[in-house]
Chain A
Amino acid sequence: DSGVTQTPKHLITATGQRVTLRCSPRSGDLSVYWYQQSLDQGLQFLIQYYNGEERAKGNILERFSAQQFPDLHSELNLSSLELGDSALYFCASSPHRSNEQFFGPGTRLTVL
């Protein structure tokens, strides 16, 4: 158990819908990262937040957005969902001044 929690574990929805994935980092970790893992693309970095502010962006679609709240939990919002958005979405957190990232168990999103 990494100490990072993600909800829900599974999510099934239809094309065109909007969903929110939630991540609670390890206690005290200021950085939160979101990654997407699909069968054909592997693990792809989406976005990073540090203490409430966006720190880095990867190949995140404009239909996707994220935020980190004052209590440091984070949400990833996916809208206008397409079949290709079906994937595992992982959240990771890391302590201040550390390169080590601790990953959550992931949310499996299925878009039908």
Chain B
Amino acid sequence: DAKTTQPTSMDCAEGRAANLPCNHSTISGNEYVYWYRQIHSQGPQYIIHGLKNNETNEMASLIITEDRKSSTLILPHATLRDTAVYYCIVRDAFSMNRDDKIIFGKGTRLHILP
């Protein structure tokens, strides 16, 4: 089972910041938080990941709470093309001794409204 809890759906106005929350209260010390998104019927797309520090890239920012039990993905200026299902995933750091499959939950369906 997925180790994360996300709202089923969210709306955001175009041009505003979209803040997607994720709870991962059972996260362990060596597990990272990953975010992927899936635009309708396309393959999932990697967005960002982090361990404990806040991270930012050209797509988004990831804010992880100090206790690491929750995080927020921020899309700073949402556009209509950001309408998608967003998956928050908790995974171990890479190891040659373990498989590294992704366990997807149900994600958050984000609707960007014009």
By a beta-carbon cutoff of 8 Å, the part of chain A in contact with chain B is 2, 4, 31, 33, 35, 42-45, 48, 55-56, 58, 88, 90, 92, 94, 97-106, 108
Q: Is A99's CB under 8 angstroms from B104's CB?
A: no
Residues of the A chain whose Cβ atoms lie less than 8 Å from the Cβ of B105:
42
Q: Is A100's CB under 8 angstroms from B103's CB?
A: no
Q: Is B101's CB under 8 angstroms from A99's CB?
A: no
Q: Is B42's CB under 8 angstroms from A106's CB?
A: yes
State the Cβ distance, A38 to closest chain B Cβ, in Å.
12
Q: Is B94's CB under 8 angstroms from A99's CB?
A: yes
- A-B contacts, 14 of them at CB < 8 A, read A2-B45, A31-B100, A35-B104, A42-B104, A42-B105, A43-B102, A45-B101, A45-B103, A48-B99, A90-B44, A92-B44, A103-B43, A106-B41, A108-B41
State the Cβ distance, B20 to closest chain A Cβ, in Å.
17
Chain B contacts with A in 30-58, Cβ cutoff 8 A: 32, 34, 38, 41-46, 49
Residues of the B chain whose Cβ atoms lie less than 8 Å from the Cβ of A35:
102, 104
Given contacts A99-B93, A100-B49, contact A90 B43 (CB under 8 A): yes
Residues of the B chain whose Cβ atoms lie less than 8 Å from the Cβ of A33:
101-102
Instruction: Give the CA-CA distance A42 to B101 in the complex, in Å.
Output: 15
State the Cβ distance, B61 to closest chain A Cβ, in Å.
18
Residues of the B chain whose Cβ atoms lie less than 8 Å from the Cβ of A58:
101
Query: Which of A43, A58, A102 has most B Cβ within 10 Å?
Result: A43
Would you give the 0/1 interface string for B75-114, flagging 1 where the beta carbon is closer than 8 Å to chain A?
0000000000001000101101001111111100000000
Apart from A92-B44, A99-B91, A104-B43, 18 more pairs, CB < 8 Å = A4-B43, A31-B100, A33-B102, A43-B87, A43-B102, A43-B104, A45-B103, A48-B101, A56-B100, A88-B41, A90-B44, A99-B100, A100-B49, A101-B46, A101-B102, A102-B46, A105-B42, A106-B41
